Amino acid sequence: MIIQILQFYKGLIMKKVFQKLVISNLFIAFSLFIMPFDAIADTSLVPIEKLVCYGKGTSQALSPSGKYYAAMVSVEKNVCDIEEESDQDAIKSKRVLVVTDLATMTPKIISGTTAGSAVSSFSWLNDETLLVSRDGRASLDSASLYTVDRDGTNSKLLIAAKTFPNKAGLQVPFLYAIYPKYPDKILITLNRNSNYREFRDLYWLDINTKRTELVARVPTIKNESVTNWLLDWDGNPKGFGTYTMEGPDMGLVTSYYKYNKNGDHTKLGSCRHQEACFVPVAFDIDNKTVLGVGQAVKKDGSIVSETDTNALWAMDYETEEYVEMIYHDPDFDISSPLQGDSNLNLWFDKTGENLFGFSYQADKPVDIFFDGYFQSVVKSLEGAFPGERVSLADWSQDLTKFLVNTRSDTNPGASYMFDISKGSLSLIADYAPWMKDYKLAKMKPFTYTARDGLKLHGYITLPANYKKGTKIPFILHPHGGPNARDYWGYNPEVQFYASRGYGVIQPNYRGSTGHGRKEMILANHEMGKTMQTDKYDALMWANEQGYVDMDNTCISGASYGGYAAMHAATKEPDMFKCIITYVGTFDLTSKDLRGLMWSKAGMPMEYIEKGNPDIPEDYKNLYENSPIFFVQNVNDPVLIITGRQDAQVRYQETVDMVAELQRYGKDYEYIIKGDEGHGFRSEVARLALYQDYEKFLSKHLENNSKN
What is the distance between the alpha carbons of residues 246 and 248, in angstroms, rounded to a whole number? 7
**Radius of gyration of the chain from its Cα atoms, rounded to whole angstroms:** 26
Residue 150: exposure state from Cβ atoms within 10 A (0-12, 13-18, ≥19) = buried
What is the distance between the alpha carbons of residues 666 and 634, in angstroms, rounded to a whole number? 7
**Dihedrals phi, psi of 516, to nearest 5 degrees:** 100, 165
* Secondary element (H or E) of residue 105: none
Q: So where are the chain's domains?
A: 1-115+390-439, 442-597+632-700
pLDDT value, residue 184:
93
Mean pLDDT by 10 residues, the chain (707 residues): 29 30 29 40 79 90 94 90 76 85 92 88 94 88 94 94 91 95 95 90 96 96 95 96 95 95 91 95 97 95 95 97 97 91 93 96 97 96 96 94 97 95 91 95 98 98 96 97 95 97 98 96 97 98 98 97 98 97 94 60 91 96 97 97 89 93 97 91 94 97 69
One-letter amino acid at 66 equals G
pLDDT value, residue 85:
74
Is 446 within 8 Å of 540 (Cβ atoms)? no
What is the distance between the alpha carbons of residues 460 and 129, in angstroms, rounded to a whole number? 48
What is the distance between the alpha carbons of residues 624 and 39, in angstroms, rounded to a whole number? 50
**Dihedrals phi, psi of 375, to nearest 5 degrees:** -60, -40
Is 17 within 8 Å of 681 (Cβ atoms)? no
Closest CA to 254 of 240, 234, 236: 240
Q: Are strands 411-419 and 424-430 parallel, antiparallel or unpaired?
A: antiparallel
Closest CA to 214 of 272, 261, 168: 261
* Cα 667 to Cα 108, 187, 477, 660, 694, distances in angstroms: 60, 59, 21, 11, 17
Going by the DSSP 8-state scheme, the letter that residue 627 receives in this structure is G
- In 509-610, beta strands by DSSP E: 548-558, 578-582
Question: CA triplet 373, 378, 382: central angle to 5 degrees?
Answer: 145
Residues 6+ apart with CB under 8 A from 618: 525, 607, 611, 612
pLDDT value, residue 338:
87
pLDDT value, residue 378:
97
Is 207 within 8 Å of 186 (Cβ atoms)? yes
Q: Are strands 578-582 and 548-558 parallel, antiparallel or unpaired?
A: parallel
pLDDT value, residue 263:
85
pLDDT value, residue 237:
96
The fold of the 442-597+632-700 domain, in CATH, is Rossmann fold (3.40.50)
Q: 391: which strand partners?
A: 405
pLDDT value, residue 43:
64
Going by the DSSP 8-state scheme, the letter that residue 564 receives in this structure is H
pLDDT value, residue 706:
53
* Cα 431 to Cα 72, 245, 568, distances in angstroms: 13, 41, 37
pLDDT value, residue 550:
97
pLDDT value, residue 91:
65
